[in-house]
A and B are shown apart, each in its own frame.
Chain A
Amino acid sequence: KAGVTQTPRYLIKTRGQQVTLSCSPISGHRSVSWYQQTPGQGLQFLFEYFSETQRNKGNFPGRFSGRQFSNSRSEMNVSTLELGDSALYLCASSPLTGGTEAFFGQGTRLTVV
C-alpha cells in the first residue's frame, strides 16, 4: 500500500508570492490534516479535511487555506508569503476523522526568501 505522498519535496519562493502544496493520502483514507513544523514552534496543526469538508482549523491567519477533492487528495495554499512561513509542511492521512491512526508524509520544505 502506498504511503502518504507530498509534492513537491522542496520549494523556494519569494516574499509576497503564493504557493500550493499537494498531499495524496493513503488509498481509502478520507481524512487529511496539515501541520507546520518550525524549530521555534514545533509541530502545529493547520487544518483537517474530511470528505471534502474542513472539520477543524488551527490558529493560523487566513493566508493559509486548503481544500480536499473527491478523491481525498488535498492541497494547501499560502498566499502573500512571509519569511516566517519558511517551514516543513506535513500532511497526515487517517481512515476516519478523530481517534484513528494518523500517518504522515515526508513533508514539503518551503523556504521563503
Chain B
Amino acid sequence: SQELEQSPQSLIVQEGKNLTINCTSSKTLYGLYWYKQKYGEGLIFLMMLQKGGEEKSHEKITAKLDEKKQQSSLHITASQPSHAGIYLCGADGGNQAGTALIFGKGTTLSVSS
C-alpha cells in the first residue's frame, strides 16, 4: 500500500524566515494535496497538484510536484505567526474507484515572533 512520509516532523522558525516541508511517496502520485490544520480542527485546503513538474502558489505558500511524481515540497516565504499549524500532505493513489486519500503524519510548524 502507498505510504507518505513527511519531513521534518516538526520545526520552529523565526518570523520572517523561509521554510520547506517535504512529502515523499512510496508510489507514483496521481494527485497530491496539501492541507493545513489547527490542532483539533478541520483541514484547510491549500492546493492540489496533479502533473509532474506542476507548481502552484497561494499567497506566500508554493507547492511543487516533482517530475517523477513521487515527491512534493511546500515552501513558505517570509513566515508569519498565522502560518503556524500542522501541514499535511495527502495523496490520491490513483484508485479508479474514487476518492480515498492517504495522508502523511503531518509537519508541525511553530513560528516565533
Which residues of A pack against B, CB within 8 Å?
Answer: 4, 6, 31, 33, 35, 42-43, 45, 48, 50, 55-56, 58, 88, 90, 92, 94, 97-107, 109
Question: Which residue of chain B is the closest to A43 with respect to CB atoms?
Answer: B103
Question: How many B residues, CB 8 Å from partner?
Answer: 27
Q: Is B87 an interface residue (CB 8 A)?
A: no
Complex contact A56–B100 (CB within 8 A): yes
Q: Is B96 an interface residue (CB 8 A)?
A: yes
Complex contact A97–B98 (CB within 8 A): yes
Known contacts A43-B88, A88-B40, A90-B42; A102/B101 CB under 8 A: yes
Minimum C-beta distance from B11 to chain A (A): 18
Complex contact B30–A102 (CB within 8 A): no
CA distance A4 to B42 in the complex (A): 10
Name the one of A43, A94, A105 contacting B99, with C-beta atoms under 8 angstroms.
A94
Complex contact B100–A42 (CB within 8 A): no
Which residues of B pack against A, CB within 8 Å?
Answer: 30-31, 33, 35, 40-45, 48, 50, 88, 90, 92, 95-106
Complex contact B35–A104 (CB within 8 A): yes
Complex contact B30–A58 (CB within 8 A): no
CA distance A76 to B100 in the complex (A): 16
Question: Which residue of chain A is the closest to B102 with respect to CB atoms?
Answer: A45
Complex contact A45–B101 (CB within 8 A): yes
9 smallest beta-carbon distances between A and B, as pairs: A55-B98, A97-B98, A104-B43, A43-B103, A106-B42, A56-B100, A56-B98, A104-B42, A45-B100
Minimum C-beta distance from B15 to chain A (A): 27
For A45, list chain B residues within 8 Å (CB). 100-102
Name the one of A31, A97, A102 contacting B33, with C-beta atoms under 8 angstroms.
A102
For A106, list chain B residues within 8 Å (CB). 41-42
CA distance A1 to B76 in the complex (A): 28
Complex contact B41–A99 (CB within 8 A): no
